[in-house]
Amino acid sequence: MIRKLSILSIVTTFSWLLGTFALGQQTEVVVKRGQVKAQTEKGTVTVDAGRKAVLRPGQRPFVAVDDPMVDDLIQMYKWIEEERTAKRVPIDFASIQIANIETEQRWKGASLAEIPNMKSEPSDTCRIGPTTILKESKYYDLEGNLLPFELEKIDSKKGYYHIRFPKAVEPGQKFRFVSLGEKGTGANKMWKEGPLWNVRMANCTPNCLNYFRVILPKSAIFVDASRPVVITDSFEGRTTVTIRNYTGEKADGWYQIAFLWPEKDGTTLGDLPPQYRGLRSKRDELAEKYHLEMATILAGEPFEDQSTPLNALLSYSSAIVNKKMDLLTRSAYILHKNPQLVEQMRAKLDQIWDMLKHQFVDTEEFLGTPGWPAKPEDGYIHPIYTARKGSLLREDTLAFIYEKGKWYQFGNMGNARDTDVSVFRKHIPEIQGQVKLEALPWDNAGPAAIEVYKQFAAEEVKYPGQWFTLGIKLIGGNHWDQAFDCFQRCERLLTDKENHYYLSSLIWQGHVLDVLGKRDEAVGKYKAALSILDKYTKAKVVLKIEDYAIMRHDQWGIVLNYKWVRARLTEPFTNEMLGK
């Protein structure tokens, strides 16, 4: 119900727009632009744009934010400030995301952003993007006041937002603001599997304190979350779930929740999956075996058995927990096939063990797997599903490959939704090609490099990184014409011009043309690379920094960066720069 206000006198101090709403015994006056004063017999309040005056019979009026999601977010930010004050963990960034799910296709969302001022002088304008253009966008400061902004469109879907602040922010300090708007969900954020609807989002900034708050649809029944729930409450009569996540150095910021949606698809509590009702299955027996064996592995006992996919997972985990590189080499397919890669890994073993243990031991555990064939053929690939500890929601799908009587860990899908591990078959030729490349030296590559080049050309290899690596190794052997072809193939296979292989292939084409005496063509390649760097400076300022490394070639002491490429416009590349 909307009615004219009869008990309120409004004194306008600037240009303004307002809306008046009567809600039972409460009247709300929303200020959309400018500033107004709201006065009753109990008192007067000043109301800025983006806020509202709330009037109740017999009470003094008070001011609140004009959107309850923004109001909730500002209150939640106080939790973050308290944790920052406590200094128990380093909080370099903070994020709050509130998703209001009303339909399957679109959400209304509010989010907190903290963006450093990267300029060398104070600025009152924060530029974000390129990003998706939101429907009915609004921006607020952390006092709840509306912030003016301009939209610089790239196309109909993406653009840059220029947000104006009342006070300039010093260099290196952060713009802090709340964004509000509507956008499409996308299949990677929300999907249905069986009776459960799943929502999955993330903020994977290192050392970031995240709060994720999901307002479920009407009638929704909350079932599970991949992380501990801080609180479940209600928002306008709808169930709301709030999750806290600190990403740490690993930048682990994914979360997922699942719910039934009776109003949408007619499900009821009777459709709750059996694993949530304690019904034993084959999956539980395998999970029991996994937990028993993992307990002994964590106690320091070795495990090595690759007779089944589950045992292969346990062998892989045993190698990680006990830091056994020889066992890791025997249980991981890529290392088993590529001994040269093993030697490269030894230089960074501490970092590698820490990364693998975080993902495959500390964070995730066995969830389930389909039955595997008793006599699989070589090359058969089988899935194992994992979940975060304490949850029954699939977090990832691991792929295990069978070859010559043994199972090997092959890779992982890296997301909760995709489970078709057959896609890993396309990586087998890539691994075979990588083995051939690793056998070649970086410098002084002889006839063997030409032979690999001929094989790659005959096989029409589709991996741009492999063509680039082969080109560099051919240059090390002074095979300039073949190297140039490799860099051209790398460029043609890539559509993302910001990709470091794309940029590096352009630069190296210029180097080769210089050595071959085709100076004008070489300068054209350098200018093409610089134009890309200049263009993407708008999106990623770091690309314009003089010393930012696009690619390093330590065997020759060469670092490809903006400064290097610009220098090639006046100083041609020569063979002597390779130390030859």
d(CA 302, CA 331): 13
pLDDT reported for residue 186: 64
Provide the sign of the torsion angle of the four alpha carbons 448, 453, 456, 459, taken in this order.
negative
Q: 196 and 80 share a domain?
A: yes
Q: 543 and 463 share a domain?
A: yes
Ramachandran category for residue 190: left, alpha or beta (phi over 0 → left; psi -120 to 50 → alpha): beta
Out of 244, 274, 304, pick the residue that ends a domain: 274
User: Does the pLDDT at position 129 exceed 60?
Assistant: yes
User: Does the pLDDT at position 183 exceed 80?
Assistant: no
DSSP string covering 122-144: -EEEEEEEEEEPPEEEEEE-TTS
pLDDT reported for residue 350: 82
Structure tokens, 107: 């959400």
Q: 400 and 303 share a domain?
A: yes
Pairing of strands 93-101, 208-215: parallel
Q: 59 and 73 share a domain?
A: no
Give the tens place of pLDDT for each residue, 344-372: 777 778 888 998 999 899 999 999 999 99
CA separation, residue 529 to residues 519, 559, 560, 579 (Å): 16, 15, 11, 24
Nearest to 175 by CA among 162, 157, 193: 162
Q: Give the whole-number percent of the chain exceeding pLDDT 70.
A: 90
d(CA 572, CA 487): 18
User: Does the pLDDT at position 4 exceed 70?
Assistant: no
Helix axes of 519-537 and 500-515: crossing angle, nearest 10 degrees: 160
pLDDT reported for residue 64: 66
CB 435 within 8 A of CB 357: no
Domain coverage including residue 485: 440-578
Peptide bond into 130 cis (omega under 30): yes
Assign residue 419 the CATH number of its domain.
Answer: 3.10.450
CB 49 within 8 A of CB 31: yes
Q: 387 and 450 share a domain?
A: no
pLDDT reported for residue 548: 60
Residue 328 domain-assigned (yes or no):
yes
d(CA 273, CA 260): 10
Q: Mean pLDDT, to the nearest integer, of 17-29?
A: 55
Residue 3 domain-assigned (yes or no):
no
Q: 54 and 78 share a domain?
A: no
Residue 310 domain-assigned (yes or no):
yes
Out of 37, 65, 93, pick the residue that ends a domain: 65
First to last CA, the chain: 83
d(CA 166, CA 416): 42
Confidence category of residue 385, pLDDT binned at 50, 70, 90 = very high
Assign residue 497 the CATH number of its domain.
Answer: 1.25.40.10
Residue 231 domain-assigned (yes or no):
yes
Q: 91 and 176 share a domain?
A: yes
Residue 29 domain-assigned (yes or no):
yes
For residue 480, the one-letter residue type is: W
- 56-70, 86-100, 189-203: the lowest-pLDDT one: 56-70
CB 421 within 8 A of CB 385: no
In the chain, the largest separation of any two C-alpha atoms, in whole Å, equals 95
Half-sphere exposure of 37 (CA within 13 A, CB side): 8
pLDDT reported for residue 79: 96
d(CA 20, CA 415): 46
Residue 234 domain-assigned (yes or no):
yes
- 151-160, 250-259, 262-271: the lowest-pLDDT one: 151-160
pTM tops 0.85, yes or no: no
User: Does the pLDDT at position 16 exceed 90?
Assistant: no
Q: Please give the order of strands across the beta sheet that includes 35-40.
A: 9-12, 35-40, 43-48
CB 453 within 8 A of CB 446: no
Coil, strand or helix at 376: coil
Structure tokens, 227: 């992380």
Give the tens place of pLDDT for each residue, 42-55: 788 787 776 777 77
Q: 122 and 237 share a domain?
A: yes
Q: 419 and 509 share a domain?
A: no
Q: 490 and 385 share a domain?
A: no
- Tell which wins on pLDDT, 5 or 569: 569
Number of domains in the chain: 4
CB 144 within 8 A of CB 74: yes
Coil, strand or helix at 97: strand
Give the contacts of 215 (CB within 8 A, at least 6 positions apart).
Answer: 69, 98, 99, 100, 101, 235, 238, 239, 240
- Tell which wins on pLDDT, 233 or 355: 233
pLDDT reported for residue 135: 78
Q: Which residue has 């809600």 as its token pair? A: 23
Q: 60 and 77 share a domain?
A: no
User: Does the pLDDT at position 269 exceed 50?
Assistant: yes
Give the contacts of 406 (CB within 8 A, at least 6 positions apart).
Answer: 306, 307, 312
Assign residue 175 the CATH number of its domain.
Answer: 2.60.40.1730
Residue 434 domain-assigned (yes or no):
no
Confidence category of residue 83, pLDDT binned at 50, 70, 90 = very high
Q: Give the whole-number percent of the chain exceeding pLDDT 90.
A: 61
Residue 321 domain-assigned (yes or no):
yes
Q: 80 and 37 share a domain?
A: no
Ramachandran category for residue 207: left, alpha or beta (phi over 0 → left; psi -120 to 50 → alpha): left
Coil, strand or helix at 175: strand
